[in-house]
């Protein structure tokens, strides 16, 4: 399969690209390299790897990278609530407008599959944190990041795609784990780094529940969607995570601290 991965130099993309190449696919990566390109350096000798530096908002660039591909995995985005809050105009341009432009061009050029990376943040806050949410649960985005993802989802799931394009939405749980383009603003990674380097971790909102998933499992889920029968993915949405990986932040911090006996977590009541 010939696959375009947007944002392929990023945290998830650099893991996914390696997995796709290892399984015999031709992979073309589009990335603006706002965080650098070191995560892809080891891939340039690969025969089936192509890299294009470009802006996802540029229609000319998109036409070039889409040409000759069978499938799109759309990861490129301004990711997370804080980043979107700081650069709101850019977040709307990249996460919403550029995503819809990529979708239209994919339809026009006869791409077969379109995998859209979304987020469990779309569900917002629930009145009862012990009630499990499904793909049919109401979406209540409370941040600009989630709002842009929901807006794209509605187009993908409600409009009839042209030229037989099969669109699929994957709502990821909170990702963690090692990646060639490491991130330390994600909960598990941040807690681990602080306990290791500072020997101390202050946890805020320790009662909040969050679902978690390893970055390698995210990449595996994307591969599964790419190779699944079309009828299983066309205009479908899937939560990507595992109910057994739901944790309160305080409990999560204690689980990680067990690996660093000298580290401590100050008592919540004495902060």
For residue 145, give the CATH number of its domain. 3.40.50.720
The residue segments making up the domain with residue 81 are 2-176+212-244
Please check the confidence at residue 261 and state whether its pLDDT lies above 50: yes
Q: What is the per-residue pLDDT for 205?
A: 86
Assigned token pair, 80: 């997370």
Contact residues for 169 (Cβ-Cβ < 8 A; gap 6+): 116, 118, 153, 156, 157, 236, 237, 238
Please check the confidence at residue 128 and state whether its pLDDT lies above 80: no
Backbone φ and ψ of 182, nearest 5°: -70, 145
Q: What is the per-residue pLDDT for 208?
A: 87
This prediction has a pTM of 0.94
Cα gap 70→238, rounded to integer Å: 21
Q: How confident is the model at residue 160 (pLDDT cuts 50, 70, 90)?
A: confident
Please check the confidence at residue 268 and state whether its pLDDT lies above 70: no
Cα gap 108→165, rounded to integer Å: 9
Q: Say if residues 167 and 235 touch (Cβ distance below 8 Å).
A: yes
Cα gap 244→33, rounded to integer Å: 35
pLDDT (mean) for 92-102 = 97
Q: Say if residues 1 and 26 touch (Cβ distance below 8 Å).
A: yes
How confident is the prediction for the chain on average, in pLDDT? 93
Domain contains 205: no
Cα gap 39→222, rounded to integer Å: 19
Q: What is the per-residue pLDDT for 269?
A: 42
- 135-139, 143-147, 265-269: segment of lowest average pLDDT: 265-269
Q: What is the per-residue pLDDT for 270?
A: 45
Please check the confidence at residue 109 and state whether its pLDDT lies above 60: yes
Q: Say if residues 169 and 240 touch (Cβ distance below 8 Å).
A: no
Contact residues for 103 (Cβ-Cβ < 8 A; gap 6+): 114, 152, 155, 156, 167
> SS3 for 219?
helix
Domain contains 193: no
Domain contains 258: no
Query: Is the CA virtual torsion 239, 176, 225, 158 positive or negative?
Result: positive
Binning the chain into helix, strand and coil, the percentages to the nearest 5 are 45, 20, 40
Assigned token pair, 271: 């902060």
Q: What is the per-residue pLDDT for 145?
A: 95
Q: How confident is the model at residue 129 (pLDDT cuts 50, 70, 90)?
A: low
Domain contains 200: no
Domain contains 105: yes
Assigned token pair, 79: 């990711």
Domain contains 201: no
pLDDT (mean) for 130-141 = 88
Domain contains 150: yes
Contact residues for 261 (Cβ-Cβ < 8 A; gap 6+): none
Total number of domains in the chain: 1
Q: For residue range 173-205, list pLDDT tens digits in order.
A: 999 999 999 999 999 999 999 999 999 999 988
Domain contains 239: yes
């Amino acid at each position: 399969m010939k696959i375009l991965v947007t944002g392929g130099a990023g945290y998830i993309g650099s893991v996914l690209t390696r997995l796709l190449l290892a399984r015999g696919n031709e992979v073309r990566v589009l990335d603006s390299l706002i965080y650098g390109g070191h995560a892809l350096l080891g891939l340039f000798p690969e025969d089936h790897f192509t890299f294009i530096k470009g802006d996802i908002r540029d229609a000319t660039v998109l036409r070039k990278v889409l040409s000759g591909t069978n499938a799109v995995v759309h990861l490129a985005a301004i990711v997370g609530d804080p980043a979107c809050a700081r650069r709101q105009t850019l977040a709307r341009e990249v996460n919403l407008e550029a995503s819809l432009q990529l979708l239209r061009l994919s339809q026009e050029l006869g791409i077969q599959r379109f995998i859209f990376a979304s987020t469990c943040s779309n569900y917002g806050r629930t009145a009862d944190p012990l009630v499990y949410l499904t793909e049919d649960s109401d979406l209540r985005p409370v941040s600009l990041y989630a709002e842009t993802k929901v807006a794209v989802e509605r187009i993908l799931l409600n409009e009839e795609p042209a030229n037989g394009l099969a669109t699929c939405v994957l709502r990821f749980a909170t990702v963690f784990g090692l990646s060639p383009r490491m991130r330390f603003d994600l909960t598990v990674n941040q807690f681990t780094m602080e306990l290791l380097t500072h020997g101390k971790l202050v946890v805020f909102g320790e009662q909040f529940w969050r679902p978690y998933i390893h970055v390698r499992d995210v990449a595996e889920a994307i591969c599964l969607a790419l190779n699944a029968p079309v009828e299983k993915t066309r205009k479908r949405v899937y939560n990507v995570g595992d109910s057994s990986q739901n944790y309160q932040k305080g409990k999560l911090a204690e689980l990680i601290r067990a690996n660093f006996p000298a580290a401590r977590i100050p008592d919540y009541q004495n902060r």
